[in-house]
Structure 1
Amino acid sequence: MVNVRKLPILLGTLIFVTAVALAGCGGGNAVNGSQGASPNSSNGSEPAAETAAPANEGTDKEPVTLKYTFWGSPQEKKAVEEATKKFTEKYPWITVNAVHIPESDYDAKLTAMVAANETPDAGYVHGELGEAWQKEGKFINFNEMFAKDTELKKEDFLDYIWFNGDDPSYTWGISTAGETFALFYNKDLFEEAGVEMPPAKAEDAWTWEQFVEAAKKLTIDKNGKNATDQGFDKANIKQFGVSFENWYGPVMAHIVNNEGDLVSADGTKFALDQPEAVEAIQRLADLINVHHVAPNPVQAKSIPSQAVALQSKLVAMSMHGQWINLDLGAAKVNYDIGVLPKMKRSVAMGISGVSAMFKSTKHPEETWLLTKFLADPSGALNLYRDGLWMPTLKKWYTDPALVAQWAENNPSHPPGFKEAFLNNLLNNSTPSPVYYVKNFGKVSSMAFSALDPVWLGKQSADEAMKEVASKVQPEIQGRYGR
């Protein structure tokens, strides 16, 4: 997410959907809602005020129809449509036309809508496109809406989730969900190998050396030898100790753990060629090419998704985003979660796609009501309970009764979730560069595509980043206010 994707970036899920069809759920694999959520309807635990309106509310208002655009798997589509129906139950005079668009086509179709004066009232926006459009003033300023709202304050939300414009007082977008990265692991494989489970608390995080040693013991060749054994066959591995994806999100999660960044603190210089970033990238590459505990890019193509890799025991650990809780829980995998291994530190890097309100709407007040409603998990609790999203409202992290509604007693939130994800994101987080680096899309695309030969072992991280630095530097335009 929620593309953060990044945000974007993503794995297909057809094989997994087939594999878990009997379990009644399937999903994709991407940040910001490119995964699916269980189609299960609400279990009735939400406050009644969130799902039903007073009988006479809205009877004297003119009917309004809002267009809301979004991407996501079939399961997420169903969940968002159910949420917008609940919204209409609460606000009977407002009908929502929820328009689902495949993520691969999203930017092109949204751009065409805007050009044809058929702009939606609100919806998902990729950060790169949103950054360009905020310069043209296409979005409603969240700060202006909060200033008029008597029920909700900006301080009610997680601190890092805002997308700001060139004017520091202009907040044009909000994270669609709370999202970050941690260390997922198959408990059965740890028990078989006699390896201690990774810690869930950041203060207890494995050192990088401890993590590598565990990954070696969990990497098994066709003859049953692990990567610490003499005679280990690195050319015929049947089970890898760990896997990770190499788009900017997972890689940056380790770079920030080593106190590196995409651009310098003053926003003037490319920073992935600096020692902190280079060391973190090289450590990841060494998992593939030196320690032989992670699949190389060619081998990774045979793995449908990180969730499937854990479920099918192709890997013992996956350094990935919280959204794969959806697939792991639906498939009833015996898994748990630890924090990422530390370099100089172990922190949660917040990431997500964007939700925004378009300034061209003829119904700004109703669009604000919809945006607030969708930001509250009560409106679509299954998106959170089934593992796809984490909330953006702080109270859903701090109020035990609310936490129990989504993060307890369900297969998508194992014991380690609260420490590794919930508490870590709330109390020990830092934002991804997508929130503050200007011209992020161009800078990140150029920088991370230059790492392809590093993952293949054909170039060192230092060589690759120094080589691309002169090309990226002209694209560095500064940082947005935090």
Structure 2
Amino acid sequence: MIARFKGRSAFTALLLSLTLVVAGCSGTGNGGTTPASEGASSQQPAESPKGEASATPEEKEPVTLKFTFWGSPQEKSAMEQATKSFTEKYPWIKVNAIHIPEADYDAKITAMVAGNDSPDLGYMHGELADPWQKEGKFVNLFELLDNDGELKRDDFLDYIWFKSSEDFAYGISTAGETFGLFYNKDMFDQANAAYPPSKPEEAWTWDEFVDVAKKLTIDKNGKNASEADFDPKNIRQYGVSFETWHGPVQATVINNEGEWITKDGKFGFSQPEATEAIQRLADLINVHHVAPSPVQMKSIPSQAVALQSKLVAMSMHGQWINLDLGAAGVNYDIGVLPKMKRSVPMGISGASVIYQSTKHLEEAWLLTKFLENPEGSIDLYKGGLWMPTMTKWYTDPELVAKWAENNPAHPAGFKDAMMNNLLQNGVPNGSYYIKNFSKVNAITFSGMDEVWLGRKTAVEAMKEVEAKVQPEIQGRYDVSE
């Protein structure tokens, strides 16, 4: 893998030189580390390691980075502002920030790469990142980090690296993200229902969760799902909603102490802990009638809109919808997921990668660091889209106050249900460690459709999937061979 970096032997010297330029301009008195929110306050040249003056920003060759990303309209606006702030700090670097709808992202990125028009850096789904990293398409971020004068691996949460080995990280989590139970407080107040607990030790049991969801599911006649004359074919308000991709499903399986791929290389979703959790999700749709089916969800633009428009009272969803809920002024809060055998948060994120084909490695690394440091792109964090990947932003009260307090995107339950919970109890999603993830994921979830439709039990469906997926299982990156 070291051979991938042949031809980049000058990178370390260039990075050290660039780091010294930034440090020399800071005037912060903090040992040379420049907060990313501060621009280059001085144009005085810094000394290179050999005592020679390095180039000032005005003397640098202009560079344009092609950066691709997905997200909602609010995320698009927030990212454009962040890249603008980056250019203000590094005026010789222009960022061509290309927004691609998430549903089209993999297809368009694949076309760009096939047409020799690769980005320099950008977002990457785990389904595509794993096969591409095997082809050597991405730079080793550990090598960049270990040669960096400002950051080290210990500065980050443990789970956030997409690794093909202990020495090679082909991606870093775009953000810290996890799942929780978002709820519309007005709907709970109207039903005189208790709010979901935000502390994991107080999490609802699954049965308690279902009981509340029934009271919050209302048919066209005003009857709720706990009443005998409730009409399940004409529901105007659902108690809860969830999506059926691997994130929400694995988050639920994890809470029943199940696994997707076991450490000895078996298909864990066919085991009792996993099938019980999957069946409980399906029963929300087909038995309890408190959640819309995937077909019904197609008529709802997003989970955030569902909560905002009061089509659903609760959503088992990811932290990133804080951005949309906060921006819309929804009266909402966050609880922890209901527990089965436990209630723990699952860490998940798309990967941020730097393409091996980039001609601007130093600048691409600067933008990667800038976006990973909340100081420079604070609106992405304060606005609710992202949680930090850097540990100190969870533990330092002054830093926490900059993004997680006194704003509409971080209601009262956020710290307990998500921030502290992820820091203290977080476990990684399978996209971080499952080898051959794209095929394993595709086969697993194509076989789950019949479960959501109520045509097969989870046990039946996952046993059928097991025969198809087991030959594709190649193990886990987090298990030494």
Q: Shorter-normalised TM-score: what interval?
A: 0.7 to 0.9
Q: 1:461 aligns with which of 455, 458, 461?
A: 458
Deviations 1:303-323 (A, max 9, x none): 222122222222211111111
Q: Which one-letter code corresponds to 1:312 in the other structure?
A: S
Q: CA RMSD in A?
A: 1.8
Q: 1:260 maps to which residue?
A: 258
In the alignment, is residue 195 of structure 1 matched against residue 193 of structure 2?
Answer: yes
What SS class does the counterpart of residue 191 from structure 1 fall into? helix
What SS class does the counterpart of residue 407 from structure 2 fall into? coil
Q: 1:51 maps to which residue?
A: 38
In the alignment, is residue 328 of structure 1 matched against residue 315 of structure 2?
Answer: no
Q: Give, in angstroms, the shift of residue 325 of structure 1.
A: 1.3
What SS class does the counterpart of residue 355 from structure 1 fall into? strand
Q: 2:347 maps to which residue?
A: 350
Q: 1:225 maps to which residue?
A: 223
Distance of 1:100 and 1:335 partners within structure 2: 28
Q: Which one-letter code corresponds to 2:247 in the other structure?
A: G
Q: Give, in angstroms, the shift of residue 48 of structure 1.
A: 7.1
Q: What's the % identity of the aligned pairs? A: 68
In the superposition, the TM-score normalised over structure 2's length comes to: 0.86
Distance of 2:111 and 2:300 partners within structure 1: 35
Q: 2:474 aligns with which of 459, 477, 482?
A: 477
User: Kindly tell me: are residues 65 and 232 of structure 1, through their superposed partners in 2, closer, same or farther at Cα, counting changes over 3 Å?
Assistant: closer
Distance of 1:102 and 1:182 partners within structure 2: 24
Q: 1:379 maps to which residue?
A: 376
In the alignment, is residue 284 of structure 1 matched against residue 281 of structure 2?
Answer: yes
Paired residues in the alignment total 434
Kept in 2, the 8 Å contact 1:156–1:395? The answer is yes
Deviates more, 1:195-204 or 1:298-307: 298-307
Q: 2:76 maps to which residue?
A: 77
User: Kindly tell me: are residues 208 and 49 of structure 1, through their superposed partners in 2, closer, same or farther at Cα, counting changes over 3 Å?
Assistant: closer
Kept in 2, the 8 Å contact 1:217–1:227? The answer is yes
Deviations 1:18-71 (A, max 9, x none): xxxxxxxxxxxxxxxxxxxxxxxxxxxxx9762311231423433333222222
Distance of 2:100 and 2:293 partners within structure 1: 32
User: Kindly tell me: are residues 222 and 402 of structure 1, through their superposed partners in 2, closer, same or farther at Cα, counting changes over 3 Å?
Assistant: same
Kept in 2, the 8 Å contact 1:219–1:226? The answer is yes
Q: 1:275 maps to which residue?
A: 272
Q: 1:15 maps to which residue?
A: none
Distance of 1:179 and 1:443 partners within structure 2: 22
Q: Which one-letter code corresponds to 1:450 in the other structure?
A: G
Q: Which one-letter code corresponds to 1:62 in the other structure?
A: E
Q: Give, in angstroms, the shift of residue 397 of structure 1.
A: 1.4
Deviates more, 1:65-74 or 1:281-290: 65-74
Distance of 2:190 and 2:115 partners within structure 1: 59
Structure exhibiting the larger radius of gyration computed from Cα positions:
2
Q: 2:176 aligns with which of 149, 173, 178?
A: 178
Q: Give, in angstroms, the shift of residue 234 of structure 1.
A: 2.1
Deviations 1:236-290 (A, max 9, x none): 2222211111111111110011111111122x21111100100000111111111
Q: Give, in angstroms, the shift of residue 187 of structure 1.
A: 1.2
Q: Give, in angstroms, the shift of residue 168 of structure 1.
A: 2.9
Gaps of 5+ in 1: 1-46
Deviations 1:286-340 (A, max 9, x none): 1111112112233323322212222222221111111111221122111111000
Q: 2:166 maps to which residue?
A: 168
Q: Give, in angstroms, the shift of residue 202 of structure 1.
A: 0.7
Q: 1:250 aligns with which of 239, 248, 251?
A: 248
User: Kindly tell me: are residues 236 and 101 of structure 1, through their superposed partners in 2, closer, same or farther at Cα, counting changes over 3 Å?
Assistant: closer
What SS class does the counterpart of residue 319 from structure 1 fall into? strand
Q: Which one-letter code corresponds to 2:159 in the other structure?
A: Y
Distance of 1:431 and 1:264 partners within structure 2: 13
Q: 1:360 aligns with which of 357, 360, 383?
A: 357
Distance of 1:298 and 1:93 partners within structure 2: 49
Kept in 2, the 8 Å contact 1:51–1:89? The answer is no
Q: Which one-letter code corresponds to 1:469 in the other structure?
A: E
Q: 1:426 maps to which residue?
A: 423
Q: 2:50 maps to which residue?
A: none
In the alignment, is residue 207 of structure 1 matched against residue 194 of structure 2?
Answer: no
Q: 1:444 aligns with which of 441, 445, 448?
A: 441
Distance of 1:114 and 1:230 partners within structure 2: 57
In the superposition, the TM-score normalised over structure 1's length comes to: 0.86
Q: Give, in angstroms, the shift of residue 132 of structure 1.
A: 1.4
